[in-house]
Amino acid sequence: MTAMNAQLASDPQALCRAWETTSDEAIVARLLCGETALFEVLMRRHNQRLFRAARAIVRNDDEAEDVMQEAYVQAYANLAHFEGRSRFATWLTRIAVHEALARVRKRRPRADLDSEPVQSTMPSPEAEVANQELARVLEPMVDALPEAFRAVFVLRAVEGLSAAESGECLGIPEETVRTRFFRARRILQLQLQRQLLESVPTLYEFHLRRCDRIVDAVFARIGYSRA
């Protein structure tokens, strides 16, 4: 470890800032020369990406962290085999994705080929909560629909009436009900899509405390101490 890196090792943010303009590949080259402290720069640089990739597959925060640790340990052990055919970030993410997929495959129950799966007709508690949350999001959107569309949507989608029944209730032709119901759903779909796209950048946020935990755990596993 160089004198500068030894001094910066106790201040992770300063260490990352000192190397922020250095490419991953250049840092890998220095790691291979024995500057283990610089592995922290790579971990903190790619923690959020790896967490989101793993979390999307295993669907559990704690297991996603386990996947990250294993991916980093594997990457560190195989740095000498990184040939630069793809970007280091891509190589690292691929390791995490493979690890996450392997875990999912291991925990997936074996299919019984002699019987068809039995699907429960009762929603799980989690599904009920999700439905309630979605309903809270939808209510103001439905309220904002034009009155003619809103009435049709509520009768058709909420109350479950047929187009003919809804038309009879509203005193309008069945074809008009179909048209208004289609337009109401389209309006809601566009609004939900817009809200979803606005929320996507905040998915699986990777906070500093989690970042510190991953770095410390990986260093412990590879036998490196900042001291």
92-114: pLDDT as tens digits: 998 998 899 889 888 766 444 33
pLDDT at 209: 85
pLDDT at 117: 42
pLDDT at 111: 42
Asked if the model's pLDDT at residue 85 lies above 50, the reply is yes
Q: Which two tokens stand for residue 64?
A: 């996603």
Mean pLDDT within 131-158: 81
- How sure is the predictor about 130, in pLDDT bands with cuts at 50, 70 and 90? low
pLDDT at 119: 45
Asked if the model's pLDDT at residue 5 lies above 70, the reply is no
DSSP tag of 156: I
pLDDT at 109: 61
Q: What percent of the chain has pLDDT over 90?
A: 36
Rounded to 10 degrees, what is the CA torsion of 212, 218, 222, 224?
A: 0
pTM assigned to the model: 0.61
pLDDT at 78: 95
Q: Which two tokens stand for residue 131?
A: 């439905």
- How sure is the predictor about 116, in pLDDT bands with cuts at 50, 70 and 90? very low
- Residue 152 near residue 166 (C-beta atoms within 8 A): yes
**For residue 12, how far is the Cα from the chain centroid?**
25
Average of per-residue pLDDT values in the chain: 82
Q: Which element (helix H / strand E) includes 165?
A: helix 163-170
Asked if the model's pLDDT at residue 159 lies above 60, the reply is yes
Domains along the chain with CATH numbers = 3-108 (1.10.1740.10), 126-202 (1.10.10.10)
Asked if the model's pLDDT at residue 123 lies above 50, the reply is yes
Mean pLDDT within 125-139: 69
- How sure is the predictor about 36, in pLDDT bands with cuts at 50, 70 and 90? very high
CA-wise closest residue to 37 among 76, 90, 80: 76
